[in-house]
Amino acid sequence: MEEHAERIVKEAVKQGAKDAVAEITVDRSYQVRFARNQPVIVNQWRRSVGSVFLAVGKHLVAGEITNFDRIPETIANLLKAAKATPENPDYAGLAKGPFKYARPSVDRKVLAIDDGSDYVEAAVNGAVEEGAKECAGSFWRYNEDHYLETSNGASGRDQRAGLYLSIRALVSLESSGHGVACATKLSEFDPDRAGHKAGRIAALAKNPKGGTPGKYDIVFDPLILGSLIDQVGGRASAYTVMAGLSPFLKKLGKTVAAPSVTIADDATTDSLGRCRFDAEGVPIRRKAIVQNGVLKTYLHNTSTAKKFKTRSTGNAGIIAPEPFVLSLKPGDWTRDELFNEVKDGLWLTNTWYTRYQSYVTGDFSTIPRDGIFRIKKGEVVEAWKDVRLTDNLINVWKSVKGISKKPEQVTWWGEVGVPTFAPYALASKIGITKSAM
């Protein structure tokens, strides 16, 4: 596949492209979906796709090549299309290579897995032991090879492999819990623990009562905190800022969170999102997006960096920069200390459907799901249901009072799209609303 990437770039330059990028992705992933405590389908992928980006001056075009026997014809068609598009004055070229990358390494034991049923069973059994009646979710063995070549000297190969299990355990329709397990090494993969966590929350969430609207101190479990971190990462892309889809416009150097909050993007971390280069071939590096509560940087590629008079953060997307692996810096609280700090508040364990009324102000709401618990004097006193977190993204982060010491790697369908290291956190006086009957 390396030769295909090389051929695409050479052919593009030969035919008149000023800049060219080719990335071939070979996907050999495997998944077991399960529901009602048993597998419902096994999915497998055998796909090889070439993504191509070409610039003729500042006329830009992107395309796909799946038939590698027709590279010259496809390039010719794309270049013809590029010439017909208006110039993009914001385009500032590609990062200048060559670059050096760390050698890819994956756990061969992960790649050897071709049957996920034991892991599903371990998770389901864990949840059932805690009292769950019904479990659903998925087990993934990811396996992707990436080959990148640019006309500006970048050339690299990356192999990305890992294991993931997501389980939702239900005691009843309104009493549920969620757990996830993420690992790049088989020895560190713990679906049983994810199952137990999901089951434990589900059992604790039995007989929930309708919640009461108001302002509450809230302990965020890693899964829901991951969603809030994900929002910061996504809204910090320079592209979303320019598109009016971020509350971080004109906030660089300003306080956007409590002093204890440092949120970083770092795909060099051993995680499901680990990668070695961005879409321009720039080596991945760590950068704090928010440091001690202050917005330090947007996420940039070469073009957005030039627009903002800075340098690339190694987060290309050729057009739209993006986060790869996010983390919230751990604090110095234990989980129990966070709970004990709450005199009268809530513990939220998961959420979904985060939507904005105004991206530029950050006014949003999100719907907690799975266990929602009332805490009084540090103890869970009852389970709730049917409430909504309605607040402002920056206000939520400014309201953080404490962060636990131990982060967990989480990622979850839709809400935590980027693998994220999230501890527990406590925030004060967060808005809770509910439906009128």
Partner 1 sequence: MSEVDLVDFAVDYAQRKGAAYAEARYEQHASEAFVLKNGVVDVLEYGDDAGIGVRVLAGGSLGFSCTNTLTRAEVRAVVDDAVRTAKATKRKDPIKFVPEPAVVSNWSVPEARKLQDVPAEDKIEEFQHIDRELMDMKYKMPARMFISTNLRIVKYFGNSEGSRIRSYSPRVRMHYYLTLMKGNDAEQCYRNYGWSGGWEAMREWNTLENVLEEARTCQNGLEHGVKSPEGRMDLVVGPPVAGIMAHESCGHPTEADRVLGREASQAGKSFITPQSLGQRVGSDVVTVVDDPTVEHAIAYYLYDDEGVRARRRYLYKAGIINEFLQNRETAAATKSRSNGASRATNYDREAIVRMANTFVEPGDWTPEEMISEVKRGVYMKTYMEWNIDDKRFNGKYVGREAYLIEDGEVQGPVRKTIVELTTPMVWGSVDACGNDLDIMEAGFCGKSDPGQALDACLGGPTMRLRNVYLR
User: Nearest distance from residue 257's CB to partner 1, in Å?
Assistant: 20
d(CA 427, CA 433): 16
User: Nearest distance from residue 213's CB to partner 1, in Å?
Assistant: 9
Least Cα distance to 200 among 164, 170, 165 occurs for 170
H or E segment to which residue 416 belongs: strand 416-422
Pick between residue 35 and residue 288 the one whose CB is nearest to partner 1.
Answer: 35
d(CA 63, CA 337): 52
Pick between residue 12 and residue 32 the one whose CB is nearest to partner 1.
Answer: 32
d(CA 436, CA 417): 31
d(CA 432, CA 388): 6
Chain centroid, CA 31 distance in Å: 19
Pick between residue 62 and residue 186 the one whose CB is nearest to partner 1.
Answer: 62
Least Cα distance to 350 among 327, 373, 316 occurs for 373
Pick between residue 103 and residue 355 the one whose CB is nearest to partner 1.
Answer: 355
User: Nearest distance from residue 360's CB to partner 1, in Å?
Assistant: 5
User: Nearest distance from residue 347's CB to partner 1, in Å?
Assistant: 18
User: Nearest distance from residue 63's CB to partner 1, in Å?
Assistant: 4
User: Nearest distance from residue 137's CB to partner 1, in Å?
Assistant: 4
User: Nearest distance from residue 388's CB to partner 1, in Å?
Assistant: 6
| CB count in 10 Å sphere of residue 86 | 8
Which two tokens mark 125? 């059994």
Pick between residue 328 and residue 418 the one whose CB is nearest to partner 1.
Answer: 418
Pick between residue 7 and residue 58 the one whose CB is nearest to partner 1.
Answer: 58
Least Cα distance to 136 among 30, 38, 31 occurs for 38
Side-chain half-sphere of 430: how many Cα atoms within 13 Å?
32
How far is CA 190 from each of CA 111, 181, 406, rounded to the nearest angstrom? 17, 6, 17
User: Nearest distance from residue 67's CB to partner 1, in Å?
Assistant: 8
d(CA 11, CA 65): 13
H or E segment to which residue 230 belongs: helix 222-235
H or E segment to which residue 337 belongs: helix 335-340
Residues in the chain, overall count:
437
| CB count in 10 Å sphere of residue 102 | 11
**Burial status of residue 411 (CB atoms within 10 A of its CB: 0-12, 13-18, 19 or more):** buried
User: Nearest distance from residue 46's CB to partner 1, in Å?
Assistant: 4
User: Nearest distance from residue 32's CB to partner 1, in Å?
Assistant: 8
Pick between residue 7 and residue 168 the one whose CB is nearest to partner 1.
Answer: 168
Which two tokens mark 4? 């295909």
CB 139 within 8 A of CB 164: yes
CB 400 within 8 A of CB 257: yes
CB 61 within 8 A of CB 50: no
- Would you call 345 helix, strand, or coil by DSSP? strand
User: Nearest distance from residue 13's CB to partner 1, in Å?
Assistant: 18
Phi, psi of 69 (to 5 degrees): -85, -10
Pick between residue 156 and residue 362 the one whose CB is nearest to partner 1.
Answer: 362
